[in-house]
Amino acid sequence: MGGLKMTVMAFPFALGACATTLPTGITAPGAGFALVASKTHEATGRRSVWLQSSAQAQQVAGEIHALVHRKTITADTAVQVALLNNRGLQASYAAIGISAAEVWQQATPENPVVSVGLLGIGAPELGLFRALESVIAVNLLDAPTRQRRVAVAQADFQRAQMQAVLDTLALANATRTAWIDAVAAFETVALLNRAAQSADASSELAFQLGRTGALNRAAQAREQVFDAELAAQTAEARLAAASAKEQLTRLMGLWGTEVDYFVPDALPALPGSLRSTAGLEVRALQNRVDLEVARLSLAATAAAYGLTDATRTLTDLEVIAGAELEREREDGNSEEEVTPQIELEFAIPIYDSGKARLRKAELSYLQAANVLAEAAVNVRSEARSAETQYRGTYAIARQYRDVVLPLRRIIDEESLLANNGMITSTFELLADVREGLGSQLDAAEAKHQFWRAAAGLDAAIYGGAGAAGGGDGGGVELAAGGGAGH
């Protein structure tokens, strides 16, 4: 029988004892979320939660039920519900947790590695085995680089937080925009219904005049076809409104009976005056979360670069220090012998001096720096663009409100007077009513664009515009992929 030889590492714990102090709160279940909640509250005025238990989820579900079920919801309510209930957002929050865990991980000393070797397995002539060789090894490099690795993980953690803030803002913005779109769509339906009513009256009148012999078939059909076409158009608008509402429902993460909510029939009137947009560019530069993400990326890359620089020749170095316990059993007696042992395993930097790796890290840094610079340029431009949109759409909507619609009212009044005086016919009266409604549709659309631009203003200051600008599609993308990629 061969002797059993076992190597046991004797002092790995001594080496691991110099563990880095953990950043506070990193091990808490909601690590890093407080920052997200406060930052998003600043921008949206709404509360966000990170659901981590079923009790919590139940409580939030109750809250949401109270907010939406059979209620006509405001834009603020919609945003609040989305922040509480959108599952994509929860996925994004989970990413914070993951990166927090990573910091924890990096801060924790590497566990000693136990290697067990059995010699002579499968050599029956030598008995079952000759020796069991075991070594408990610890990566000596773990301790000296821990500080830097934690820094990298921490930068990632911060970035994850900021990304979560950004996702929250984007969701808030997408929800607000979806609410605006849905309400505008219902406003369009209401206006088309009125136009359809006038067309219906024309059609009815044409029918009656056909009956008395005053209108030929072609003229009757002309009035009736308009009515019919308008009915189709109204149906289309109704469909569009339903889709717009469904988009909002998705962003709010609602299903089941919770979808029994309503949106108002019309967007709020234009405000009397505009919000101050003084120093918008500066405010955007100070507050934009995506800029913060780019900045943190740069910091993380810098930290990673430092790490690379420090370890470039030692990356693959593994120093194993330990003690070997050798136990031999012979003729019923076992003999144990402990020998201190150091094994050094390393790559000889003959071919790879780490320069390529360093170059890669350098360029990654440069890349991140350029991304940050570009982001800053874009933020400025977006701020200016948002302001232009805000002021421009306001001017257009105000033109409709203050000039076009009052003129239409005059036309309507005069049309009625002319009809009273038998100067024009009922058909002309109804045609004027319809044209007036056409202007109201245009005015409603202008108001719609203004409220979208107003929502875009917040996005320009705080971030999250990506979903708002692009119309219907943006929000879907966000809802589906909010937590992905982290």
Positions touching another protein (CB under 8 A) are 194, 197-198, 200-201, 204-205, 208-209, 211-215, 412, 414, 416-427, 429-430, 433
Tokens representing residue 210 in the block? 């056909």
Tokens representing residue 67 in the block? 């907010």
Q: Would you say 191 or 379 has its CB closer to another protein?
A: 191
Q: Would you say 213 or 485 has its CB closer to another protein?
A: 213
Query: Which residues, 6+ apart, have CB-to-CB distance to 485 below 8 Å?
Result: none
Q: Would you say 141 or 418 has its CB closer to another protein?
A: 418
- C-alpha 454/C-alpha 457 separation (Å) is 5
Q: Would you say 427 or 450 has its CB closer to another protein?
A: 427
CB of 219 to another protein, least distance (A): 8
Query: Which residues, 6+ apart, have CB-to-CB distance to 277 below 8 Å?
Result: 387, 390, 391, 457
User: How far apart, in Å, do the first and last CA atoms of the chain sit?
Assistant: 55
Is the Cα torsion angle 27, 29, 34, 36 positive or negative in sign?
positive
CB of 210 to another protein, least distance (A): 9
Q: Would you say 332 or 421 has its CB closer to another protein?
A: 421
DSSP per residue, 450-468: HHHHHHHHHHHHHS-HHHH
CB of 434 to another protein, least distance (A): 9
Per the listing, tokens 């209401």 go with 190
Q: Would you say 274 or 418 has its CB closer to another protein?
A: 418
Q: Would you say 60 or 219 has its CB closer to another protein?
A: 219
Tokens representing residue 304 in the block? 């990673």
Per the listing, tokens 């490099």 go with 141
Q: Would you say 236 or 414 has its CB closer to another protein?
A: 414
CB of 453 to another protein, least distance (A): 31
3 state DSSP class of 5: strand
CB of 409 to another protein, least distance (A): 12
CB of 412 to another protein, least distance (A): 7
- C-alpha 61/C-alpha 295 separation (Å) is 36
CB of 79 to another protein, least distance (A): 36
Q: Would you say 54 or 212 has its CB closer to another protein?
A: 212
Burial class (CB in 10 A: 0-12, 13-18, 19+), 221: middle
- C-alpha 256/C-alpha 261 separation (Å) is 11
- Angle formed by the axes of helices 87-107 and 472-481, nearest 10°: 40
CB of 228 to another protein, least distance (A): 16
CB of 419 to another protein, least distance (A): 7
Nearest to 4 by CA among 168, 118, 163: 118
CB of 166 to another protein, least distance (A): 48
One-letter amino acid at 217 equals: R
Q: Would you say 233 or 419 has its CB closer to another protein?
A: 419
Query: Which residues, 6+ apart, have CB-to-CB distance to 54 below 8 Å?
Result: none
Nearest to 432 by CA among 416, 445, 444: 416
Tokens representing residue 185 in the block? 């769509």
